[in-house]
C-alpha cells in the first residue's frame, strides 16, 4: 500500500473508532437520497449524544448533507425544536474557526464604521464650535456684544453651514439688531409636542 493510501485508511479507522466511542456508528449510514424517515433517525441519534459540542457538530454535518436534498424552509421547520443546535457551533472544528473569523471581520467593520462616524461627528462639532467662537469674537470686537442672549442664540446653532452663513452675514451687518434678527431666523426650530384631545 502506498503512503497516502495508508494515511487515508488510518484517518478513516480513527474516525470509525471515534464514532464508536460516541455511540454514533449509525450516523455513518450512507444513503443516496435521504427521506424524512432518515432525518428522523439522524435527529434521534444526534439527540442521544451527551456532549453538546458533539451534538452541534453532528447537527452541522447533518444539515450540510441534508440541504442538498431538502429546502432550507423545510429543514428550519424540521429542526425548529432543536434550539441548542447552533449554540456550540463555534466549538466545532473548522466551522467554529469560520464563524469566529466572520464574527471578527464583522466586529472590525462595525468598529471602523463607528470610528468613522464618530470622527465625522467630532469634526462637525469642532467646526461648529470654532465658528461659534469666531462669530462671538467678531460680534464682541465690532459691536461690543457680550456673552448673554446673543451667545446663547449663536451656541444654539450647531450646523456648520448655517453658522458659516451667519458669520458671513454678520461681517456685512450694520448694527447688532440686524445680527440679532438674523440669528432669530437661523436658530434651530424646536418641534413642540401637541397634546392629544
144: pLDDT strictly greater than 70: yes
Collapsed DSSP state (helix, strand, coil) of residue 68? coil
Residue for cell digits 413642540?
192
Specify whether the CB–CB gap between 19 and 27 falls below 8 A.
Answer: yes
> Average pLDDT, stretch 141-163?
86
CA gyration radius, the chain: 34
Q: Is the pLDDT of residue 166 over 80?
A: yes
User: Taking 70 as the threshold, does the pLDDT of residue 96 lie above it?
Assistant: no
| Residue that the C-alpha cell 440669528 belongs to | 183
Task: Supply the mean pLDDT for the chain.
Answer: 77
Q: How far apart are CA 45 and CA 156, in angstroms?
A: 67
Q: What is the mean pLDDT of residues 163-184?
A: 88
Q: What is the DSSP letter of 23?
A: T
Give residue 28's pLDDT.
44
Check: pTM over 0.75? Answer yes or no.
Answer: no
Q: Indicate whether 25 pLDDT > 50.
A: no
Please name the residue that has the C-alpha cell 425544536.
Answer: 81
Report whether 154 contacts 183 (CB < 8 A).
Answer: yes
pLDDT greater than 70 at residue 18: no
Above 70 in pLDDT, residue 8?
no
pLDDT score, position 31: 59
What is the mean predicted confidence (pLDDT) over 165-184? 88
Q: How confident is the model at residue 39 (pLDDT cuts 50, 70, 90)?
A: confident
173: left (phi over 0), alpha (psi -120 to 50) or beta: beta
Q: Is 42 within 8 Å of 62 (Cβ atoms)?
A: yes
Bigger pLDDT: 45 vs 145: 45
Mean pLDDT of 75-101: 73
Q: What is the 3-state secondary structure (H, E, C) of 163-184?
A: HHHHHHHHHHCCCHHHHHHHHH
Task: Residue 138: name the closest of 101, 103, 168 by CA.
Answer: 168
User: How long, in residues, is the chain?
Assistant: 197
Reading the block at residue 22, the C-alpha cell is 460516541
Amino acid at each position: 500500500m502506498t503512503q497516502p493510501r495508508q494515511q487515508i485508511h488510518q484517518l478513516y479507522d480513527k474516525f470509525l473508532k471515534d464514532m464508536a466511542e460516541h455511540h454514533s456508528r449509525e450516523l455513518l449510514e450512507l444513503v443516496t437520497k435521504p427521506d424524512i424517515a432518515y432525518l428522523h433517525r439522524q435527529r434521534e441519534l444526534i439527540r442521544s449524544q451527551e456532549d453538546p459540542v458533539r451534538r452541534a457538530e453532528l447537527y452541522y454535518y447533518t444539515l450540510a448533507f441534508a440541504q442538498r436534498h431538502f429546502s432550507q424552509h423545510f429543514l428550519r421547520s424540521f429542526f425548529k425544536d432543536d434550539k441548542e443546535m447552533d449554540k456550540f457551533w463555534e466549538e466545532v472544528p473548522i466551522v467554529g474557526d469560520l464563524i469566529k473569523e466572520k464574527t471578527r471581520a464583522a466586529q472590525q467593520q462595525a468598529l471602523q464604521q463607528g470610528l468613522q462616524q464618530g470622527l465625522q461627528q467630532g469634526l462637525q462639532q469642532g467646526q461648529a464650535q470654532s465658528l461659534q467662537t469666531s462669530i462671538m469674537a467678531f460680534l464682541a470686537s465690532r459691536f461690543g456684544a457680550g456673552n448673554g442672549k446673543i451667545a446663547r442664540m449663536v451656541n444654539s446653532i450647531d450646523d456648520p453651514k448655517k453658522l458659516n452663513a451667519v458669520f458671513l452675514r454678520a461681517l456685512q451687518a450694520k448694527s447688532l439688531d440686524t445680527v440679532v434678527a438674523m440669528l432669530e431666523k437661523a436658530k434651530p426650530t424646536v418641534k413642540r409636542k401637541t397634546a392629544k384631545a
